[in-house]
Amino acid sequence: MEVTDLLALALKAGASDMHLAAGQAPAMRVHGVLQRLPVPMATPDDLMRSMESLLDADPYRQWAAGHDLDVALELPALGRFRVNLFRQMNGPALTVRLIPARIACAEALGLGEIVRTTGRYRDGLVLIGGPTGSGKTSTLAALLDQMGRERALHIVTLEDPIEVVHASHQGVVNQREIGRDCCSFAQGLRSALRQDPDVIVLGELRDLETIRLALRAAETGHLVLATVHTRSAVNTVDRVVEVFPAQEKPWVRAMLADSLRVVVAQVLVGRRGGGRGAARGGLVVNDAARNLIREGRMAQLHSVMQTGAAEGMQTLAGAMKQLQAGGLLAE
């Protein structure tokens, strides 16, 4: 069966991801559960042949030569997909993330308070944290879409690869793909600072140099939004600081205290009646939080979140309890 036929089956089933590997039956993840498809195992030749017609020549050659890489595919009648290409013991393999055809509105994702909070800022750093597959990209896309509808902004995104394609609405959106439109996040971020941006979006804070540049961009009058692979709002702040060597940590804490605006942490949970949704905690960086960050007392940020409901704050545990009390969580 061709890859496009398998993707059509995954779309029909409402899957979030599909796994194809030589020597194994295809599988897809539906509402967080991995399911085998009742089709024959893929052979290495079949998988390479099927993907050759979908990939550009250069990424196909790199994959065939044994390189790992991420690409975005736009397939007629099917939609847009993020594909991770790699090799395993039986030959070629790929994992496909199915990207929704439409950007979910902020209200549908429960982002009302987050949008209102973030919409107040003209500069600073906003971080969206969560484990892999927790919906960070969807949250960021909905947040950007809402901001673009409400204000005339020049938004520059740096992504690897570009997943969600944004409309310009009132302003201008320039989406740049790492490896195609610029060499790296760091190089793209340096260039973005010379492009008169209102908002800079980083698909992921990956390394020390990118984090350092993001902090400087946030400090010099730009609103910077980025995702981070973390499990809580407090862990997100810790993660940014811990990337740096010991001698730089006081400087980083001072920069974060001045520039950090909002930290969102989320996980996907099963919903009563089927499907999944996000539980979100959020830290709005007020004076108390700034002092704690500057002094390195990150563990006490949890207390700030517990007492900051009036400012839109909530711990992730509190969000889970709220969903449970409302009868929204699956048993």
Radius of gyration (Cα) for the chain, nearest Å? 21
Please check whether residues 142 and 53 belong to one and the same domain: no
Q: What's the rounded mean pLDDT across residues 10-27? A: 96
Within a domain: 330:
no
Strand ranges, E, within the chain: 17-21, 27-30, 33-36, 69-75, 79-88, 91-99, 124-130, 154-159, 172-177, 199-202, 223-229, 260-270, 276-284
Please check whether residues 209 and 235 belong to one and the same domain: yes
Rounded CA separation 72/84 (Å): 9
Helix (H/G/I), strand (E/B), else coil: 90? coil
At 39, which CATH number?
3.30.450.90
Q: For 258-294, what is each residue's pLDDT tens digit?
A: 999 999 999 999 888 888 889 999 999 999 999 999 9
Within a domain: 105:
no
The residue range of the domain holding 12 is 3-99
How many domains, in total, are found in the chain?
Answer: 2
Tokens of 185: 């996040």
Can you give the pLDDT at residue 110? 84
Q: Which of 41, 70, 99 is the last residue of a domain?
A: 99
Can you give the pLDDT at residue 115? 78
Euclidean distance between the first and the last CA atom of the chain, given in angstroms as a whole number:
37
* Burial of residue 297, with CB atoms counted within 10 A of its CB: 0-12 exposed, 13-18 middle, 19 or more buried: exposed
Please check whether residues 276 and 161 belong to one and the same domain: yes
Can you give the pLDDT at residue 91? 96
Q: What's the rounded mean pLDDT across residues 92-112? A: 91
Residue 331 has pLDDT above 80, yes or no: no
Within a domain: 190:
yes
Please check whether residues 311 and 196 belong to one and the same domain: yes
Length of the chain: 331
Helix (H/G/I), strand (E/B), else coil: 42? strand
Q: For 107-151, what is each residue's pLDDT tens digit?
A: 888 887 887 888 889 999 999 999 988 999 999 999 999 999 999
At 148, which CATH number?
3.40.50.300
Can you give the pLDDT at residue 108? 86
Q: What's the rounded mean pLDDT across residues 216-231? A: 93
Residue 99 has pLDDT above 90, yes or no: yes
Can you give the pLDDT at residue 167? 95
Please check whether residues 157 and 284 belong to one and the same domain: yes
Rounded CA separation 206/243 (Å): 10
Please check whether residues 52 and 117 belong to one and the same domain: no
Q: What's the rounded mean pLDDT across residues 72-86? A: 95
Q: pLDDT averaged over the chain?
A: 93
Question: Running DSSP on this structure, what letter comes out for residue 248?
Answer: G
